[in-house]
Amino acid sequence: MLKIIIVLTALIVLTACGGGGMSGAVGNPAQPGASATGVTVTSEADALLHMDQLRASGFRGGGVRVGVISTGVVNLASYQSAGVLPTGIYVSKNTAGTLDEGSWMLELVHQHAPDAVLGFCDGVDLDFNVCIEDLGNNFHADIIVDDILFSGQFYPDASAATIVQLETANDRMVFVHLAGNEQNSGYWQGPFVTMQGAVGGSQATLLDFGASSGGSTDAFNTVPVPAGKRLRLIVNWNDPPHGADNHALSVYLLDANAQVLMHASSQFDPTLIADYTNTSGTEQAVRLVITLDAGSAQGLAVQVTEGSPTCNIECQPLSHSTSGLAGGTVGDIPDALVVGATDAMSPHTLEAWSNHGPFRLDFQAVADAAAPDGFDYTRLASPVVLKKPDLVAPDCVTTPFSNGKTLTNNLFCGTSAAVPAIAAAAALLESAGFNRAQVLKALRSTAVPLGVAAWDPGYGFGLADVAAALRSGGN
């Protein structure tokens, strides 16, 4: 099973690009303030979600263990020496580099739930599922929060089985996952509507992106690629891994003259990567073409995800794009709290980059040690649609950043900046005696609706209200 990370961290200056996907940005920081409990709080999410009220009532995350999975804590010692993070943090895996996003997430959890015990695992350097297992089984986390997004798929992810095992062993185990930042024209999903055409000098059955999207016939999904930039597109379709009867598909990237820039094919694994670097001195219009090489188009669905580095909040726009990636591969875990991002400023509108739902599943999975990926898959009579995301929380929140020596308050933007608040909210509720079922019910049922319905594809059930969740008792 090919599982592809589609978002990596990059520090992006807000004034130049309008945001940073799982990233921070220099802004006009608010002044740090000391809460009534002596904790320095910079994040605007603290008061907006009413977490300060729980701490004032004595619920500070004591007795709760929160594990963070992200892309590095390279300046961790600097934060600890400055006193914004405790010294006793469990670190499972971290390699030298330039990524420090795990530190920012740890800081936010610590601001909101200062008495919680913290752990970290690098979800890129160490396998994501191994990180979940390590934080659950060795760190003994009650809450695991991550900001590692993978390309969407139509079958249950292996992490779902790991989470179920941890939940069985610990009735406080809560998994919190980001919605992702590809909504801004970086994702497409639709049925395989066929058309006939030529590609690479041969006739083929092509995916009609235009008709599949409800418009005029168009065999191309075109992406502008700036000079010197790399394009990475991940193509998935609704077949299971290692399926004997899988469809065979091919992807092509063409230039404006229909010349093939790259080509890849697959059948055993329903995932293909289209990768190309524009080495010319000018922007190129690169055209994605998908062909059906074997199997019937009936019931066949395809999704295209624009990966890093061309999509990190601000994507190079696909000419045909849709909604529906919330949570990526981990959107299939029903109990997970998938979190989108709203503007920290009133009226808390959904960020343009925050991925929408719902999430679609075409298969159920059963463990099988003899199978190549440890699972056998059975196609459901009809796809299951999961209502993800669950909640939203503010992003572009003020967070201390470090260069390894000194700290400066910057803005941390993207759904990566929203998930630590929800993890901390769960920790506060658990320190008040809530178990997992009560945390999930309380946060979902008391969220402040911001969409047009009880559940909205972008806002989920709404903006979390931790004080209201506490008052509900989770019942």
At 276-313, the pLDDT tens digits run 999 999 999 999 999 999 999 999 999 999 987 778 78
Choose the final residue of a domain: 315, 339, 358. 315
Find the CATH number of the domain harbouring 258. Answer: 2.60.120
At 404-455, the pLDDT tens digits run 999 999 999 999 999 999 999 999 999 999 999 999 999 999 999 998 889 9
For residue 237, being part of any structural domain is answered with yes
Q: Do 302 and 359 reside in the same domain of the chain? A: no
User: What is the C-alpha to C-alpha distance for residues 141 and 61, in angstroms, rounded to an integer?
Assistant: 13
Q: Do 191 and 175 reside in the same domain of the chain? A: no
Does residue 31 or residue 420 have the better pLDDT?
420
Find the CATH number of the domain harbouring 35. Answer: 3.40.50.200
Please give the pLDDT value at position 157.
82
Choose the final residue of a domain: 285, 315, 345. 315
Q: Show the CA angle centred on residue 386, arms to residues 435 and 4, nearest 5°.
A: 95
Q: Do 107 and 144 reside in the same domain of the chain? A: yes
Does the pLDDT at position 19 exceed 70?
A: no
Q: Do 61 and 46 reside in the same domain of the chain? A: yes
For residue 172, being part of any structural domain is answered with yes
For residue 70, being part of any structural domain is answered with yes
* Domain range for 427: 14-182+327-472
For residue 2, being part of any structural domain is answered with no
Tokens found for residue 280: 């010319």
Q: Do 149 and 200 reside in the same domain of the chain? A: no
Q: Do 136 and 273 reside in the same domain of the chain? A: no
Select from 326, 334, 364, 331 the least CA-distant residue to 167. Answer: 334
Q: Do 36 and 173 reside in the same domain of the chain? A: yes
Does the pLDDT at position 25 exceed 60?
A: no
User: What is the C-alpha to C-alpha distance for residues 415 and 240, in angstroms, rounded to an integer?
Assistant: 29
Query: Following DSSP, what letter does each residue of 116-163 receive, concatenated?
Result: SEEEEEETTTS-HHHHHHHHHHTS--SEEEE---B---SS--HHHHHH
Q: Do 264 and 379 reside in the same domain of the chain? A: no
State the total domains in the chain. 2
Please give the pLDDT value at position 16.
23
For residue 320, being part of any structural domain is answered with no
User: What is the C-alpha to C-alpha distance for residues 205 and 193, in angstroms, rounded to an integer?
Assistant: 10
For residue 346, being part of any structural domain is answered with yes
Q: Do 121 and 150 reside in the same domain of the chain? A: yes
> Looking up tokens 């972008």, which residue turns up?
458
Q: Do 198 and 228 reside in the same domain of the chain? A: yes
Does the pLDDT at position 24 exceed 80?
A: no
Choose the final residue of a domain: 272, 289, 315. 315
At 363-413, the pLDDT tens digits run 999 989 999 888 999 999 999 988 999 999 999 999 999 999 999 999 999
For residue 357, being part of any structural domain is answered with yes
For residue 295, being part of any structural domain is answered with yes
Q: Do 146 and 194 reside in the same domain of the chain? A: no
